[in-house]
Amino acid sequence: MNKLVIPLAVLLIGCSQNQKSYVPKEITSAIPTKHIVIDSLNHPWSIAFLSNEEALVSEKDGNLLHIDLNSKERRVIKGFPTDLTDSIRAIHFGDNSGIFEVLIDPDFKGNKWVYVSYAAKKAGVGSTTKVIRAKLQNDSLYQHETLLVAEPFTREYFHYGGGMTFGADGTLYITIGERLFWERDEPEIPIAQDVSDKRGKIYRINLDGSIPENNPDFGPNAVPGLYAMGIRAAQGIIVEPKTGNIWFSEHGTIQGDELNVLKAGANYGWPNVTSGKLRSQDYTPPKLEDVTFTSPVWFWHHTVAPTGLAFYTGDEFPGWKNNLIVPGLSRGSLWRFRVEDEVIKSVEELFIDDRVRIRKVRQSPDGKLYILTDEDNGKLIQIKAQ
């Protein structure tokens, strides 16, 4: 369906007549189709490719797995920190536990570092987002180093954030959610607007956990590593290869799902400004003095619950080159944005007749496109050109 024929004349330019038979008869337009690679995952959250055939997959309700995509063999990574939260089966869709992002050091072959964000527990107090790195050898983690603990530990199960990406500058960017469900529970200075509160922020740290000297200055009370604030619940964060810009997705409440370009020192406004509505109709955010809010680059008019995004740089979908691919939990969304610098030129919603909750989009080193589905029987699905 919808195949197109690039006129043979185009292909035949420069070809002698007697070689016509070697020319492919048609180049089909790239129509995306889903092909299940791995199933039986427990609400997978992220995937990091060790090679084109091997990957680490993190589960929200389970483990960190080492999976061979060809043989389908999967092994549980041992040596995970003992403060990993017990798996909860979500009562509310937004409830979370377990392991979130997993990244592999750019120099993994040399240093064996992997970076993991997860929901950590503290007995009798609650849980929060924690980021560690550890050396991965023989499917076990060694030499754990704690890079960030987004205190306080609380009893809330949602909006951990936990998105991570390596910046083009060699630093590590981390999203931390504000951990509230109802805005009426905000303290006098809303969590995401309080530079002394670790929640509702984006961080920039060196790979060893130290703080880059050229981070923006939020004043003497700011928590270490603070890079941007005013965040409600951001899971997806990714570098745009062409520009080095960092894009992140954010969940709103009633609508208010957004895409942003990350700027040093920026305040993205939550809960004082949002493209959606506050869930607590009886709550009015306090007036804040001398604050400039940064607007989203895009917002939706309906709920998408955008999650872990990726820039496509493969060859299989020529028309998608350098496009931003945004998955969502709500409505089984998968969106493709054509962006130029920080401007959105066009946006396509894909798989409208074949929806499934999607937690993450990732590309393998050789440019294949994968999605992870957020299901009890979670799947790694390759998006192939038909």
346 secondary structure, DSSP code: E
Stretch near a second copy under the rule CB under 8 A, chosen from 14-22, 111-119, 155-163, 368-376: 14-22
The C-alpha atoms of residue 275 and residue 362 are separated, in whole angstroms, by 27
Stretch near a second copy under the rule CB under 8 A, chosen from 17-25, 68-76, 231-239, 263-271: 17-25
Count of C-beta atoms within a 10 Å radius of residue 89? 10
The C-alpha atoms of residue 267 and residue 371 are separated, in whole angstroms, by 30
If binding is defined by CB under 8 A, does position 29 make contact with a second copy?
Answer: yes
Please give the angle made by the CA atoms of 322, 333 and 235, to the nearest 5 degrees: 70
If binding is defined by CB under 8 A, does position 3 make contact with a second copy?
Answer: yes
Question: Which residue, 10 or 91, is less far from a second copy as judged by CB?
Answer: 10
33 secondary structure, DSSP code: E
If binding is defined by CB under 8 A, does position 9 make contact with a second copy?
Answer: no
If binding is defined by CB under 8 A, does position 15 make contact with a second copy?
Answer: yes
If binding is defined by CB under 8 A, does position 321 make contact with a second copy?
Answer: yes
Question: Which residue, 153 or 300, is less far from a second copy as judged by CB?
Answer: 300
If binding is defined by CB under 8 A, does position 322 make contact with a second copy?
Answer: yes
Question: Which residue, 30 or 88, is less far from a second copy as judged by CB?
Answer: 30
If binding is defined by CB under 8 A, does position 23 make contact with a second copy?
Answer: yes
**Per-residue binding letters, 326-345, with a second copy (x by CB under 8 A):** ----------x-x-x--xxx
- What are the distances in angstroms from CA 233 to CA 44, 67, 149, 338, 353? 18, 29, 16, 24, 28
The C-alpha atoms of residue 151 and residue 269 are separated, in whole angstroms, by 21
Q: Which of 7, 110, 124, 220 forms a contact with a second copy (CB under 8 A)?
A: 7
Q: Which of 348, 355, 363, 382 forms a contact with a second copy (CB under 8 A)?
A: 348
- What are the distances in angstroms from CA 109 to CA 136, 169, 338, 386? 10, 20, 34, 34
Q: Least distance in Å: CB of 143 to a second copy? A: 43
Stretch near a second copy under the rule CB under 8 A, chosen from 143-151, 155-163, 194-202, 312-320: 312-320
Q: Least distance in Å: CB of 145 to a second copy? A: 40
The C-alpha atoms of residue 261 and residue 339 are separated, in whole angstroms, by 11
Q: Least distance in Å: CB of 366 to a second copy? A: 14
Determine the size of the site formed for a second copy (CB under 8 A): 44
Residues 6+ positions from 5 with CB-CB distance below 8 Å? 25, 26, 27
Structural contact between residues 195 and 224, judged by C-beta atoms closer than 8 angstroms: no
> Which one-letter amino acid corresponds to residue 44?
P
What is the residue whose two structure tokens read 């005013």?
230
Query: Does the bond joining 220 to the residue before it have cis omega, within 30 degrees of 0?
Result: no
What residues between 31 and 70 interact with a second copy by CB under 8 A?
31
Would you list the DSSP string of 178-217? ---S-GGG--SS-GGG-TTSSSSEEEEE-TTSPPPTTS--
If binding is defined by CB under 8 A, does position 352 make contact with a second copy?
Answer: yes
If binding is defined by CB under 8 A, does position 25 make contact with a second copy?
Answer: no
The C-alpha atoms of residue 215 and residue 210 are separated, in whole angstroms, by 11
Question: Which residue, 156 or 240, is less far from a second copy as judged by CB?
Answer: 240
For a second copy, the binding residues (CB under 8 A) are 1-4, 6-7, 10-11, 13-16, 19-24, 27, 29-31, 301-302, 315, 318-319, 321-323, 336, 338, 340, 343-353
